Amino acid sequence: MPRWLRDNMLSVAMLGAFLVFLLLQSVFGWQVHNEELSRYGIEPLSWWAYLGTGHFAEAVFENWESEFLQMGGYVLLTAYLVQKGSAESKPEDQTDRPEDNRDHARPDSPWPVRVGGLPLVVYRNSLAIALLMIFGGSFLGHLFGGVAAYNQEQALESGAAPISAWQFLGTSDFWFQSMQNWQSEFLAVGVLILLSIVLRQHASPESKPVTAPHAQTSA
């Protein structure tokens, strides 16, 4: 196995799985959408054409939205809150780690650390900022994909006039889609936080060592 692949196997595996499942989602979604169109006597779309529909965009972005909200929120919450005994929590008495302080900068530290000032302030929070920015972009993708899908559905069913994205934002349909994903994401993370108190997975950085006592906080 090439060295670069071995060193990046985790990200390659995750992104590879993402691409496989996204492709499968597009294929099955395409079939579902064409079945819906056929009920109204409309010619089926090609797979390429389907990728530009609100039906596909809504399905993709409503899931991305919830994932990145959960991850961004989790990064922020774990910076300030603790859970005694959990591998997912920082130690109860820890604020910033010593290495979070610029006094511990090294020659190979990232440039914002060496420069200080505003670049360092932003960099200290850059992970949460990036995740929440992706959440914001996904939220907009869900909104605009959702209103396109909603307008098409309403036009086919009743010939209703299209509504704006702003109007769609005020519908129960949009927020139902969001909430059903948001609640599941925070449930999954909450369960991981609590289960990591008493359960173990050897060799995983998400778990405490197998021999660690339940009361030990942080992996």
pLDDT in tens, 22-72: 999 999 999 999 999 999 999 999 999 999 999 999 999 999 999 999 999
Residue 1 — pLDDT band, cuts 50, 70, 90? confident
Q: What is the pLDDT of residue 219?
A: 72
- What is d(CA 131, CA 69) in angstroms, rounded to the nearest whole number? 7
Task: Report the pLDDT value the prediction gives residue 93, as an integer from 0 to 100.
Answer: 82
Does the residue 125 lie in any domain?
A: no
> Quick check: is 130 in a domain?
no
The domain in which residue 29 lies consists of 1-51
Single pTM value for the model: 0.93
Domain count, the chain: 1
- The answer as to whether 4 is a domain residue is yes
Burial of 104 (0-12, 13-18, 19+ CB in 10 A): exposed
Distance CA 35, CA 30 (A): 9
What dihedral do alpha carbons 96, 98, 101, 105 form, nearest 10°?
-150
Distance, in Å, from the CA atom of 143 to the CA atom of 149, rounded to the nearest integer, reads: 10
Residue 28 lies inside a defined structural domain of this protein: yes
Residue 76 included in any domain: no
Radius of gyration of the chain (CA): 23
Helices (H), the chain: 3-7, 9-38, 47-50, 54-80, 111-115, 117-124, 126-158, 165-169, 172-198
The DSSP secondary-structure symbol of 20 reads: H
Q: Is residue 46 part of a domain?
A: yes
Is 133 domain-assigned? Answer: no
Element (H or E) spanning 148, and its range? Answer: helix 126-158
Q: What is the Cα 92 distance to its own chain's centre? A: 27
- Alpha-carbon torsion, ordered 182, 184, 188, 193, to 10 deg: 50
CA angle (132, 191, 16) in 5-degree steps: 55
Task: Assess if residue 32 is contained within a domain.
Answer: yes
| Cβ count within 10 A of residue 168 | 19
